[in-house]
Amino acid sequence: MEFKHTSILLQESVDFLITDKNGIYVDCTMGGAGHTSGFAAQLEAGGLILGIDQDDDAIKVASERLLGKFPCQTKVAKSNFKDFARVLDELGIDKIDGIFFDLGVSSYQLDCPERGFSYMHNGPLDMRMNQEAQLDAAYVVNNYKEEELAEIIHKYGEERWSKRIAQFIVAARKEKPLTTTFELVDVIKKAIPKGARVDGPHPAKRTFQAIRIEVNNELGILAATMEAAVERLKSGGRIGVITFHSLEDRIIKQTFAKLVKGCTCPPQLPVCVCGKKPILKKAGNMVPSAAEVEENPRSRSARLRYAIKI
């Protein structure tokens, strides 16, 4: 299957991030190199773009699309984005001019049935972004306790029927383990009352999102990774993050706000005693245009959050 993925907010991301055509830039979620190529196209011979991804398919495709194809230096590394600092250290890179994250799952991962991310295609219950990882969706679905499943589906999927879905999953797996995405979809459909399934998104959407987040620890690594990313920026360096759902967007928004504010003293104190100074400025956000949403409906929930290091 061809690695197809339409880069969202591409021009906006490039326009914001690239300030020095001979600078060093890192795309921590390279995927099929859509954004990475956009950044690389703006750089001159003295510039460097480093693309990082944990997905073997992405590494293979992006390497073909990036390496040796642009005037600037291009490098590709396999890693979870939370470990980007280790990759920089291994390459002898200290401070960088810009860093970028496109969170969530790629169109290729969603459209590839064998990866098990989609409730629209039948495939194995996998959902691992790093195919070498131990934990997969089948283990979560078949081994987590009912209370754990209910909590994950409620917390990460914001699903109002979480307890009922967990109850139905546990009942179904007693008959036989759930091994495919469509088997899980059938259980979810049975769990959600018919009247609640008429309107809104696909009944399995929230549960699949929740299990995917659990398998890949997507939210647990975000805040610390953002702070580490800002730490590696040069003065005036820029960070851009594309989010796709309220949970991850809230974490990015709050982390940026904290770094813009600096001081962590209680509001009732007349003067600052913590001594923490603001690290970021000009934090803002933008969403896709109506034309982009019409052309690519998957961009509808996307939001680009950005900030500049002081």
Q: What is the pTM of this model?
A: 0.90
Supply the CATH number for residue 153's domain: 1.10.150.170
Q: Do residues 126 and 85 share a domain?
A: no
Sign of the Cα pseudo-torsion (251, 303, 229, 273, in order): negative
Give residue-wise pLDDT tens across range 252-303: 999 999 999 999 999 899 899 999 999 999 889 999 999 999 999 989 999 9
Which phi and psi (to 5°) does residue 287 adopt? Answer: -120, 160
Predicted confidence (pLDDT) per residue in 57-83, tens digit: 999 999 999 999 999 999 999 999 999
Strands 280-286 and 303-309: antiparallel
Q: Is the domain of 193 the same as that of 121?
A: yes
| Domain contains 109 | no
Q: Are residue 230 and residue 261 in the same domain, yes or no?
A: yes
Residue 4 lies in a domain: no
Do 228 and 206 lie in one domain? The reply is no
Tally of CA atoms within 13 A in the half-sphere of 84 that contains its CB: 32
DSSP letter for 1, please.
Answer: -
- Domain, as residue range, for 98: 10-104+219-309
Same domain, 76 and 150: no
Asked if residue 149 is part of any domain, the answer here is yes
pLDDT exceeds 90 at position 4: no
User: pLDDT value at position 201?
Assistant: 83
* Domain tally, the chain: 2
